[in-house]
């Protein structure tokens, strides 16, 4: 008779709030783990290291359940926005990536853009700008900071705002205050806004779009 101490591992029990992780991911991540060994011979530290290599895994705990079951609990990062189109950010500015075919329409998240190493700065800027417009009816579609620390945002209404390097909050507030003017012009002649340049101490410049043609910028004080 074979003692239970020598029984080979027969079951992996994978639990957690899983949005991205599949059983195949776990099995593939553990391909270098000798699952044909007994439960007592499994090295939990190595198993955790192997599974943690999946970019979207935030935390993992592994427990042995006698006589031959390995229980794996997964914690995934929760995205709050996309980062440079192909990656995601969590609330702490941690960058992670998941297979593109596992991202579906339920993740209608804003997109943040920035140079390498700037994720936390851009996320902080996004939160500041979001606080400014959250009660106005506007929605931030994307926020971008370039290598010169100049800010650009696009609203869900497809309005692009150039905010520049300084005073981005005051400049956004200036747009919000002037928006009724834009609505009036759009309603009167059917023009659309291409972009609004707010990088001025006073006033701003507007590029209007008529059908496929772009008008010259108008400086408005």
Quick check: 217 pLDDT over 50? no
pTM beyond 0.85? no
Contact 52, 60 (CB under 8 A): yes
Q: How far apart are the first and last CA of the chain?
A: 92
Quick check: 215 pLDDT over 50? no
Burial of 72 (0-12, 13-18, 19+ CB in 10 A): buried
81-220 folds as Rossmann fold (3.40.50)
pLDDT digits (tens, 9 = 90+) for 151-167: 999 998 788 999 999 99
Domain with CATH 3.40.50.11690 in the chain: 81-220
Which pLDDT belongs to residue 213? Answer: 45
CATH 3.10.20.310 fits 4-76, yes or no: yes
pLDDT digits (tens, 9 = 90+) for 81-124: 999 998 999 999 999 999 888 876 555 899 999 999 999 999 99
What is the token pair recorded at 12? Answer: 């992996």
Which pLDDT belongs to residue 154? Answer: 96
Q: pLDDT-derived band of residue 194, with 50, 70 and 90 as boundaries? A: confident
Which pLDDT belongs to residue 84? Answer: 96
Contact 111, 119 (CB under 8 A): no
């Amino acid at each position: 008779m074979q003692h239970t101490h020598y029984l080979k591992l027969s079951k992996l029990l994978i639990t957690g709030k899983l949005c991205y992780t599949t059983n195949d991911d776990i099995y593939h991540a553990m391909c270098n783990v000798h699952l044909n060994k007994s439960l007592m011979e499994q090295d939990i530290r190595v198993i955790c290291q192997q599974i943690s290599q999946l970019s979207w895994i935030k935390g993992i705990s592994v427990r042995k359940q006698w006589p031959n079951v390995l229980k794996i609990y997964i914690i995934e990062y929760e995205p709050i926005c996309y980062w440079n189109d192909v990656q995601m950010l969590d609330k702490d500015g941690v960058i992670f990536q998941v297979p593109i075919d596992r991202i579906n329409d339920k993740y209608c998240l804003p997109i943040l853009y920035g140079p390498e190493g700037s994720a936390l700065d851009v996320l902080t800027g996004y939160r500041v700008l979001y606080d400014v417009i959250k009660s106005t009816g506007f929605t931030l579609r994307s926020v971008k900071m370039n290598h010169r620390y100049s800010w650009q945002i696009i609203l869900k209404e497809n309005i692009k705002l150039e905010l520049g390097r300084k005073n981005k909050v005051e400049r956004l507030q200036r747009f919000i205050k002037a928006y009724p003017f834009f609505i009036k012009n759009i309603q009167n002649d059917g023009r659309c806004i291409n972009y609004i340049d707010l990088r001025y101490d006073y006033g701003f410049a507007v590029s209007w779009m008529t059908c496929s043609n772009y008008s010259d910028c108008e400086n408005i004080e």
